[in-house]
Structure 1
Amino acid sequence: MERNEVSPMVPATAVTQATSTWDPYERGCPSRNLLDRIGDKWSILVLGELAQNGTARFTQLRKRLEGVSEKMLTQTLRALERDGLVLRTVHPAVPVRVEYELTALGQTLRGPLKGLTEWSTEHTADVLAAQESYDARDRTAGG
């Protein structure tokens, strides 16, 4: 079994170390870029799928994540791999089999992702009602 070593794996000890100098509210801070990555529509769905169902092949992810293009899924997986959140494993076979799974660092996102997923499903009706109310107000105000 070969492992694609495009990006070095983050040691488990580094996963929990906090650095007080990272401030996502400051322009140019790497933590802002990280929030952009994990907050991206497809990244959240890929990470959530791998967190919920474990290791998956590209075609499995593509089927599960309805609406994602092959190009977008490839870009998302590469970016997540570069960030050390997803591990890509190439199994030599004919045809070659490639699998994706969360790294130790990616596993630390399971709780926050579960919380976001639960929040979104529990509050969708509230948000839709708020949008409807806002749009009705906006129409009557001529905005």
Structure 2
Amino acid sequence: MTLETAGKADMKYTNQRVEIITFLREHKGHPTVDEIYDGVRKKLTRISKATVYKNLKFLSEKGLIEEVNVKGVTRFEANFVPHHHLICRKCGKIEDFESDELFDYLMKVAGGIEGFNIDSVNTNFYGECKDCKEKNRNG
């Protein structure tokens, strides 16, 4: 997906928006607003946190990035390969989980919903990550 075709958004691609999307595509994970601000500020030294936040909301509304909320903290990603999330209830770590079988099954179920055209699905799985499980075992 290119910036020109992503989300089929009819919008102006400002330097700020391009740098935010570029940062998210290069950053493997689910960074917070603060992490995105720190990363983008390395290239756009005069950008404000308010500008980053405003653009993240805008890009999310246009479908160019995704928001993931964990423990009251909004995180963002630009991974549009169909995937789900594994979320640790203890530390808040988020990992992507890809499963064609699960995606196909969920889309099949979603296809049976009347009066709503569903074009995408994702599922969040909550539990305890390997690191927290290990800490509990050793702590």
Fold agreement, TM-score > 0.5: no
Give the TM-score normalised by structure 1.
Answer: 0.44
- Bigger relative CO (Cα 8 Å, ≥ 6 apart): 1
Structure with bigger strand share is 2
